[in-house]
Amino acid sequence: MVYFTGFADEAGSDLDTQIAATKALGWEFIESRNIEGKNIHDISDEAFDIVVGKLQDSGVKINCFGSAIANWGKSVADPFEITLEEMNRAIPRMQRLDCKLVRIMSYKVIGNAATDDQMEEERFKRLREMLAIFTDAGITPVHENCMNYGGMGWQYTLKMVENVPGLKLVYDTGNPIFTPDYIKGEPYNMQSAWEFYKNVKEHIAYIHIKDGVWDKENSKSIFTFPGKGDGDVVKIVNDLVTSGYYGGFSMEPHMAVVFHDDKVQSESEIRFNNYVEYGKRFMKIVEDAK
């Protein structure tokens, strides 16, 4: 049995809007990332108390913390205490919300990924400690293939998992679209979402749904509705569902331009409606999976 969730901060910055979008889809979960522009593990204690109350009143739950822990903005050369402090803020809040999943990463890529030393052993050492701390707290950390060491290619992810036994993955279908395939050398083409997925499948515990195409001429990503880009979303979902996948599908639309009715809409309406439309389209993909 799968369930649906998503980064509802893409529907709106405030929690009330995030809850409303979740309910509009008939869902009960949010993957919480930012509330009023701040990550859920960074907001004040007073603000977090308000979050807890609103969630309890609404019946909506947080299934995963979309944390900034060891993400693409953090360097493995920085003191490990920075990571530990973020974890120490996140864990009691997750326990209070009975949230069992946390998205983590493996620090940003150093310089020229193809030639520079990526400090692998230091990354692996830190990830092993992070895994142990979260596991002891009853929480499962899942590593995302984003702009970090593990996201440089499926070979890097497998090396990471080999050196961090027990580490599980959250696989993002859209990230390979705009990430160079460093293994295959220059001139770098972007990664294949399907190739990455099939090589790391056995370690996947959770899925982020994103789709789009790479605009090579302008060196930028153009994000699309699920199944309309190069993220192999339909193919991956079909494979997961027919393989008996039991876990969450989390929406992360990232769509800057949205096509709706011709009526005038405010920016807030566009964000809200796009998120809901995205969720509806994705549920249909799962419904049709075979």
User: How many whole angstroms separate alpha carbon 178 and alpha carbon 193?
Assistant: 10
State residue 266's pLDDT score: 62
Convert the pLDDT of each residue in 225-245 to its tens digit: 999 999 999 999 999 999 999
Q: At what angle do helices 81-97 and 120-136 cross, to 10 degrees?
A: 30
The chain-wide mean pLDDT, for the chain, equals: 94
Residue count of the chain, please give it: 290
What is the CA 54 to chain-centroid distance, rounded?
A: 24
Tell me, what DSSP letter sits at residue 150?
G
State residue 262's pLDDT score: 45
Q: Give the confidence band of 115 by pLDDT, cuts at 50, 70, 90.
A: confident
Helix, strand or coil for residue 116? coil
| φ/ψ (deg, to 5) at 74 | -110, 140
User: How many whole angstroms separate alpha carbon 264 and alpha carbon 158?
Assistant: 48
Structure token digits, residue 207 = 């899925």
Q: What element of type H or E holds 206?
A: strand 204-209
Determine contact, residues 119/110, Cβ cutoff 8 Å.
Answer: yes
Structure token digits, residue 158 = 């497998």
State residue 240's pLDDT score: 98
Q: Give the confidence band of 257 by pLDDT, cuts at 50, 70, 90.
A: very low
pLDDT at residue 188 above 80? Answer: yes
User: How many whole angstroms separate alpha carbon 212 and alpha carbon 1?
Assistant: 27
* pLDDT cut 70: percent of the chain above it: 96
What's the average model confidence in pLDDT over 34-51? 96
State residue 5's pLDDT score: 98
Strands 140-144 and 101-104, sheet pairing: parallel
Convert the pLDDT of each residue in 141-175 to its tens digit: 999 999 999 999 999 999 999 999 999 999 999 99
Tell me, what DSSP letter sits at residue 190?
B
Q: Specify the amino acid at residue 71.
A: N
Across the chain, how many H-helices and E-strands are there? 8, 12
Q: Give the confidence band of 264 by pLDDT, cuts at 50, 70, 90.
A: very low
| Full strand arrangement of the beta sheet holding 248-251 | 3-6, 248-251, 204-209, 168-172, 140-144, 101-104, 61-65, 29-32
Determine contact, residues 229/223, Cβ cutoff 8 Å.
Answer: yes
Determine contact, residues 264/18, Cβ cutoff 8 Å.
Answer: no
Convert the pLDDT of each residue in 49-66 to its tens digit: 999 999 999 999 999 999
More confident residue, 87 or 262: 87
What is the CA 207 to chain-centroid distance, rounded?
A: 8
State residue 256's pLDDT score: 56
pLDDT at residue 265 above 60? Answer: no
Domain definitions of the chain by residue range: 67-164
User: How many whole angstroms separate alpha carbon 15 and alpha carbon 273?
Assistant: 16
Convert the pLDDT of each residue in 16-37 to its tens digit: 999 999 999 999 999 999 999 9
What's the average model confidence in pLDDT over 66-70? 97
Distances (CA, A) of 34 to 11, 40, 67, 125, 213: 11, 6, 9, 28, 25
Q: CA-based Rg of the chain, rounded to a whole angstrom?
A: 18
pLDDT at residue 273 above 60? Answer: yes
Q: What is the pTM of this model?
A: 0.94
